[in-house]
Structure 1
């Protein structure tokens, strides 16, 4: 009898273990799923910005731009106004949407506007980190962005050669650049509002791979960090014409990051009688007006005997905040040089 009771007790214990084991097996994976979701969230959205307006009255149109993983589904939500408003992908990874404030909407400067970016089952979410009303920006809440990271090309990467870098992005932030395998987190100075410069002098022990070094800039404000890769090779003609020599090319006026209006006159200096190809492109984050990008001017001018040249352009539509990228390419014989100037509409 004792043996039978003991066997029954063991059986009940085993049965209870079988009953509760599935519950334990179901509970264990949950933390790993949550961790995986945390790694995905926020990794696909680079920036979410809005075009500031003067007031939040009915009839005012709000414009939003989101940058992130291309070919995804983007939506935005304005509490007490609209939910899951679709954003249109105007170019790979750039999504835009507009919303006209209606009677009854309760939107204030501090309304927490959110955007979602979905690709398959993966969803990223972010909150607008800037005020909707112009003139109320705050460094603590600004959304970071790098518009351009460039360098003046050199002939050779020899010891003693100084590399000069320029970054155009969000003002009042901390900018650095890194040359992979050579130097890391070199500080950049903010010369003017959102215009940063930095330099690095090559040392004897530095090694640059034949395929070219990867150069990356970082812009940081608080806990936000954005990065951008260099927009050109460090060595002039690295695309196969390494014997091509540069000629002088300098933009005298206007200055980098200047605010302009009306007809914009550009003056520069290059080699005497050099041919200068000019291309001006306008970029706006406002949807539905004239597109995300538009060519304003494309022409060729010739420098005089002193190397001076000039040209002018006037946008057909002037929208405050529009960015103008002026690309110059000067050539004379087999010698060439390139320069870029970024301006903003007042």
Structure 2
């Protein structure tokens, strides 16, 4: 699975996920019918993130990324520093801005940075839900992030079908998911460090509207809540080509969101003699640039007769906080499966 660049010139660091605080309103009951699901496009702010820096001294450059409604006007405000700083839309729905800390600015680890997104008369606002200083979370600020919210595709949304969901994000938090108009706030279990799973079995009275039911997950720690939409369709393609549930694919080590340094060794398990495509992408930011994305490794390996496989890569970027996304695609015959592992540079 290839990684798409978040910018026309350079990649963007993407540490955050969808921020959405209001509760979902309960939809009124409707007649039961099964229809294909279509993803619902949001019209607000999806995420607002920053690249953590080592210190908040004059001359340090802060870099921000906002994702939301495309073709809008985005601004950010840093109290005691800058008001309504314009953010540039580098691709539809992705806005960037940087700010160089000046003498006289009063910015601390507790500074609340806010962003606005305006389209016509509608204005959406949010606050940064992560620390500006790298490592500040270790001193009491729990920075929440959702790296991925996915589901196994099914052939039809029929009564008795079980939908399986998986969320990769900040460990030791509370996770749940909701299917708009069907079920709300279904708890997810933390199976391992930052890996949450949950399932829902469709009932005969459940209704999936023609416009598509939005499936979202939320992650909460203390009074912080972030949300993310499902990253794929629930229904398999009309040609039945989606068979991600038919072949096993598991990353054994390292754990999700682990901190790494030096050579990183990855071990996993799939079907015996399966072909495993590996792609490792690094995303980071440096002073004076909006960020960059670099391909670290791209190769094809084969699982052994027990389905085990392993590979290693050596990070070429030594910036603390660099995000490594390890994408695996396993196939045997016409069956495929995909997994993603997110790691961070020490």
Is the structural similarity TM-score above 0.5? yes
Paired position in structure 1 for 2:168:
168
Q: CA deviation at 1:266?
A: 1.6
Cα contact 1:244–1:334 (8 A) shared by 2: no
Paired position in structure 1 for 2:265:
265
Aligned pairs for 1:192-211 within 5 A:
194-201=194-201
**The 10-residue stretch of structure 1 (271-280 or 80-89) with the greater mean CA deviation from structure 2:** 80-89
Aligned pairs for 1:1-346 within 5 A:
44-120=44-120, 122-137=122-137, 145-153=145-153, 162-171=162-171, 173-180=173-180, 182-191=182-191, 194-201=194-201, 214-220=214-220, 225-234=225-234, 240-241=240-241, 246-284=246-284, 289=289, 291=291, 293-346=293-346
Q: Is the radius of gyration larger for structure 1 or structure 2?
A: 1
CA 1:106–1:335 in structure 2 vs 1: closer, same or farther (change >3 Å)? closer
> Using the alignment, how far apart are the partners of 1:225 and 1:291 within structure 2?
26
Cα contact 2:78–2:114 (8 A) shared by 1: yes
Q: CA deviation at 1:330?
A: 1.8
> Using the alignment, how far apart are the partners of 2:198 and 2:294 within structure 1?
31
Q: CA deviation at 1:236?
A: 5.5
> Using the alignment, how far apart are the partners of 2:244 and 2:59 within structure 1?
56
Q: CA deviation at 1:280?
A: 2.3
Q: How many pairs are equivalent?
A: 304
Q: CA deviation at 1:148?
A: 1.1
| Alignment gaps of 5+ in structure 1 | 1-42
| Alignment gaps of 5+ in structure 2 | 1-42
Instruction: Calculate the aligned-residue CA RMSD, in Å.
Output: 3.8
SS of 1:241's equivalent? coil
CA 1:305–1:223 in structure 2 vs 1: closer, same or farther (change >3 Å)? closer
Paired position in structure 1 for 2:39:
none
> Using the alignment, how far apart are the partners of 1:191 and 1:101 within structure 2?
41
> Using the alignment, how far apart are the partners of 1:192 and 1:291 within structure 2?
31
Q: TM-score normalized by structure 2?
A: 0.70
Cα contact 1:53–1:62 (8 A) shared by 2: yes
Q: TM-score normalized by structure 1?
A: 0.70
**The 10-residue stretch of structure 1 (295-304 or 216-225) with the greater mean CA deviation from structure 2:** 216-225
CA 1:153–1:342 in structure 2 vs 1: closer, same or farther (change >3 Å)? farther
**The 10-residue stretch of structure 1 (227-236 or 135-144) with the greater mean CA deviation from structure 2:** 135-144
Q: Which has the higher contact order (CA 8 A, sep 6+)?
A: 2
Once the two structures are superposed, what CA deviation does each residue of 1:257-312 show, in whole Å capped at 9, x if it has no partner? 32222222222222332222222233447785573544333222122333322222
